[in-house]
A and B are shown apart, each in its own frame.
Chain A
Amino acid sequence: MSKRRIFCLAAAASAIALAAAACGAPDDEGEDRGAVPDDATDCANYEQYGDLEGETVSILGSIRDTEADEMVEAWSYFESCTGATIDYEGSGEFESDMKVRVDGGNAPDIALFPQPGLMANFAADLKPASDEVSKLATEGWTEDWLNYGTIDGTLYAAPNSSNAKSFIWYSPSFFSDNGYEVPTTWDELIELSDTIAADGVMPWCVGFESGGATGWPGTDWIEDIVLREGTDLYDQWVNHEIPFNDPQIVAAIDKAGTILTNEEYIYNGTDTISSTAFQEAAYPILDGGCAMHRQASFYGAMWPADTNVAEDGDVFAFRFPESNEGDNTMLVGGEFVAAFDDSESTEMVRQFLASELYHNARLQTGPWSTARQGVDPANATTPINQFATEILTDPAVTVRFDGSDLMPGEVGASSFWTGMVQWVDGDKTSQQMADDIEASWP
């Protein structure tokens, strides 16, 4: 390439940059984007945190992009009223960044752990919750939740966001037009699936593809079913008190198979499950291609921009039905606010992040859901998050955390994923899959 041509190339590139610059900084707008509520902008509400002028608190989390902006906005008045600076860093390599920094003696002041299991690995470096934080946590969350922030009997962390995972997405209008009722038991769910299939529509859309993490949506299916066989069984399974290939677990996998490996049920056929991207897997619901899709509440943000996600809109979700009469369970995910530093400013940020004030404000800065008692679910910016927050803050609901996030990484972030893929592809039976995962348990 001649010099002149390279010069042209460089000139073209700079021209693009300049042209972009000429447009000025873009506006960030989005219809679900809210604002910090009035009571959270009043500095009087921050007096209890004292004067933190000049202090900096670093926070590392896996939350990025718009969600991170909304989170930062929710604590912006904490910063301006107390004078503290919160340095938030969102990382796509959260697990490894944490490992390198903690072992390298450069841990962030606060980390937002999406996996309680990972948090427990760092117990030796974590600072337990102070009396004040414990008090806030106890008034703010049910025992089910606090158990996941507790390591060896000591409370370390209160939750930040929470999302409801036992959700099945559907089209309310499609259901009402055809006279389908939202099922409340597993048997009703299967019955409904049969009816829909008989009416000539595929009852289920399923997609497990998620790049390097392909298979994880499948683990949620198994967890949902095991949880509904009994919370004790679920706890034993997750804590490896019973082997992964225990007959009850294999039976649960078979039960999932009545839907996932049923050729009559799956849109495009079961052999497309492992290669259908989870982000777009449910889209056929919009044009009547299929009727239902099991995915967590955060899926509300993944529908195409012009979709009306509401109980009377294009799509909405109902709760994964119970298997046993009288059960009221919910599989959940979320982050835990753990600290590696016990300075005054870090302590105050922890207290703030556990407070009702913060959770209420965050609920209103953008699509989000929380399990913090005392918030008003109606403050959520979208109907689905309101629905999720109502369930999550209901003390009557029995909550269990996503099991694959509690199992060791070799299982929860590896063999369980691949096992699901091989199973749904028909390469392995339920028993073989469970045996292989059990063998990989460290």
Chain B
Amino acid sequence: MSTDMQTPVQGRPIAESRGDRIRRVLSSRFASIFALVIAVLWTIPTAGLFISSLRPEDDIRASGWWTVFTDPSFTLDTYNYVLYSDSQGGGLIRNLVNTIVITIPGVLVPVAFAAMAAYALSWIDFKGRNLLYIAIFALQVVPLQMALIPLLSFFSQGLHIGDLAIMPAWNLSGVNTIVQVWIAHSIFGLPLAIFLLHNFMRELPSDVMEAARIDGASHSQIFRKVVLPLVTPAIASIAIFQFLWVWNDFLVGRTFGGGEATRPLTAVLGDMAGTWGFGWTRLPAAAFIAIIVPLVVFLLLQRYFVRGLLAGSVKG
């Protein structure tokens, strides 16, 4: 666009040519439309789910959700059923409780351990530090599906070398198997958490650390009093990431839990439709119950999420 290069140098072009103006207005109008289209397109699917969840089940089967605009008909029956029914195809309230009980430690444990590890990897000098960090980074790609069987047999059979039991079998049952779910989630969340926190911690100004050390602070004191307060945004963002992951998990909960009694919300979603898939009309309500909590949390904490993620990894 060589013509543009010839326009006057003083601030905004004073005498904008007509062509340029049209182009500018057009592009701004185009921009508005494009942004609006994307926003609408992105919202329609979720809106469709929400509307479907409020429709009578027979209607869901018979017509599309958009027909409510011409022929409105709403009910809370499906919500009532999926939340409180005693049937196998409902009673999500118990799964909601399971999900909450699973999620809290499933977020706290890996974030705490990752913070400690990330500190050691970024501010304590020891041999093989970089190698260890790279190894942990690479672990991000191990598909967790392949870890299910070995980890499960670790819990159910313990760890033996020959006849020597290094760790006995856990023999947990019922509700207590949730402990296994906590540990599994912690393990699978660690590599990403360590990676992000490490990125963030390395960026801390070294003179602050130096000063603290000269003042005689030990590593554990520096970690607690200097580093932790400074990396709070990063920790918040990783906690949100991990929260989403644990809440939305489908495999870990059903594998390491003790059956029906401990299943989290997302894991039962797929099973709700019944043996022959005939109860799929309940899925919108069930799915909406499952997604509303992470959505609200996510939207509320969006700012922290971005701040932490960005500050940690932008440089490079």
Decide if A and B touch, CB cutoff 8 A: yes
Which of B80, B89, B259, B289 has a CB less than 8 Å from the CB of A64? B89
Contact check, A21 vs B84: say whether CB atoms are below 8 A apart: yes
Contact check, A1 vs B152: say whether CB atoms are below 8 A apart: no
Contact check, B152 vs A101: say whether CB atoms are below 8 A apart: yes
Contact check, A100 vs B255: say whether CB atoms are below 8 A apart: yes
Query: Chain B contact residues: over half helix, strand or loop, or mixed?
Result: helix
**Is B273's beta carbon under 8 Å from chain A?**
yes
Q: Which residues of A contact B247 (CB under 8 A)?
A: none
Among A82-90, A172-180, A342-350, A433-441, the stretch that binds chain B is: A82-90
**Is A298's beta carbon under 8 Å from chain B?**
yes
Q: Which residues of B contact A25 (CB under 8 A)?
A: 80, 84-86
Interface string of A47-83 (1 = CB under 8 A from B): 0000000001010101111111100100000000000
**Is A152's beta carbon under 8 Å from chain B?**
no
**Is B254's beta carbon under 8 Å from chain A?**
yes
Contact check, A28 vs B83: say whether CB atoms are below 8 A apart: no
Among B157, B276, B289, residue most surrounded by chain A Cβ atoms (within 10 Å): B276
Contact check, B84 vs A65: say whether CB atoms are below 8 A apart: no
Which of A87, A88, A105, A210 has a CB less than 8 Å from the CB of B156? A105
Q: Which residues of A contact B83 (CB under 8 A)?
A: 17, 20-21
Among A91-99, A126-134, A141-149, the stretch that binds chain B is: A91-99
User: Which chain A residues in 1-53 approach chain B with CB under 8 Å?
Assistant: 1, 3, 6, 9-10, 13, 16-17, 19-21, 23-26, 28
Q: How many residues of chain B have a CB within 8 Å of chain A? A: 46
**Is B148's beta carbon under 8 Å from chain A?**
yes
Which of B85, B152, B279 has a CB less than 8 Å from the CB of A105? B152
Known contacts A3-B300, A105-B156; decide if A23 and B89 are in contact (CB<8 Å): no
Q: Which residues of B contact A24 (CB under 8 A)?
A: 80, 84
Contact check, B148 vs A104: say whether CB atoms are below 8 A apart: yes
Q: Which residues of B contact A9 (CB under 8 A)?
A: 295-296, 299
Contact check, A100 vs B260: say whether CB atoms are below 8 A apart: no
Known contacts A9-B296, A20-B80, A25-B86; decide if A298 and B156 are in contact (CB<8 Å): no
**Is A442's beta carbon under 8 Å from chain B?**
no
Closest residue to A85 on the B side, CB-wise?
A: B174
Q: Which residues of B contact A298 (CB under 8 A)?
A: 276
Chain A's interface size range is 35 or more
**Is B59's beta carbon under 8 Å from chain A?**
no
- What CA separation (Å) do A24 and B84 show in the bound complex? 8
**Is B173's beta carbon under 8 Å from chain A?**
yes
Contact check, A103 vs B260: say whether CB atoms are below 8 A apart: no
**Is A279's beta carbon under 8 Å from chain B?**
yes
Contact check, B79 vs A13: say whether CB atoms are below 8 A apart: no
- What CA separation (Å) do A210 and B157 show in the bound complex? 39
Contact check, B296 vs A10: say whether CB atoms are below 8 A apart: yes
User: Which chain A residues in 286-302 approach chain B with CB under 8 Å?
Assistant: 298, 301-302
Contact check, B84 vs A20: say whether CB atoms are below 8 A apart: yes
Closest residue to A298 on the B side, CB-wise?
A: B276
Known contacts A1-B299, A65-B272; decide if A103 and B278 are in contact (CB<8 Å): no
Contact check, A66 vs B260: say whether CB atoms are below 8 A apart: no
Closest residue to A103 on the B side, CB-wise?
A: B149
**Is A153's beta carbon under 8 Å from chain B?**
no
Q: Which residues of A contact B168 (CB under 8 A)?
A: none
User: Which chain B residues in 40-92 approach chain A with CB under 8 Å?
Assistant: 76-77, 79-81, 83-90
Contact check, A65 vs B87: say whether CB atoms are below 8 A apart: yes
Contact check, B272 vs A97: say whether CB atoms are below 8 A apart: no
Known contacts A64-B271, A89-B260; decide if A279 and B152 are in contact (CB<8 Å): no
Contact check, B277 vs A69: say whether CB atoms are below 8 A apart: no
- What CA separation (Å) do A301 and B155 show in the bound complex? 41
Contact check, A26 vs B81: say whether CB atoms are below 8 A apart: yes
- What CA separation (Å) do A9 and B86 show in the bound complex? 29
**Is B274's beta carbon under 8 Å from chain A?**
yes
Contact check, B273 vs A65: say whether CB atoms are below 8 A apart: yes
Contact check, B260 vs A87: say whether CB atoms are below 8 A apart: yes
- What CA separation (Å) do A58 and B261 show in the bound complex? 11
Q: Which residues of A contact B218 (CB under 8 A)?
A: none
- What CA separation (Å) do A177 and B1 show in the bound complex? 81
Contact check, B278 vs A302: say whether CB atoms are below 8 A apart: yes
Q: Which residues of B contact A67 (CB under 8 A)?
A: 274-275
Instruction: Tell me the smallest distance from the CB of A203 to a CB of chain B, in Å.
Output: 25
Q: Which residues of A contact B85 (CB under 8 A)?
A: 25-26, 28
Which of A20, A60, A211 has a CB less than 8 Å from the CB of B76? A20
Known contacts A20-B79, A26-B84; decide if A13 and B273 are in contact (CB<8 Å): no
Q: Which residues of A contact B272 (CB under 8 A)?
A: 64-65
Interface string of A334-377 (1 = CB under 8 A from B): 00000000000000000000000000000000000000000000
9 new A-B contacts at CB < 8 Å, known A20-B79, A23-B76: A20-B83, A26-B90, A65-B272, A72-B88, A87-B261, A89-B260, A92-B273, A104-B155, A106-B155
- Chain B contact residues, CB within 8 Å of chain A: 76-77, 79-81, 83-90, 148-153, 155-157, 173-174, 254-255, 259-261, 263, 270-279, 289, 292, 295-296, 299-300
Query: 19 A-B residue contacts at CB 8 Å?
Result: A1-B299, A6-B296, A16-B79, A20-B80, A26-B85, A56-B174, A60-B259, A65-B88, A69-B86, A69-B89, A87-B260, A89-B263, A90-B260, A100-B148, A101-B255, A104-B150, A104-B151, A104-B155, A298-B276
- Chain A contact residues, CB within 8 Å of chain B: 1, 3, 6, 9-10, 13, 16-17, 19-21, 23-26, 28, 56, 58, 60, 62-69, 72, 87-93, 97, 100-101, 103-106, 108, 210-211, 279, 298, 301-302
Q: Which 3 A-B pairs rank lowest in CB-CB distance, beginning with the nearest?
A: A104-B152, A65-B274, A65-B89
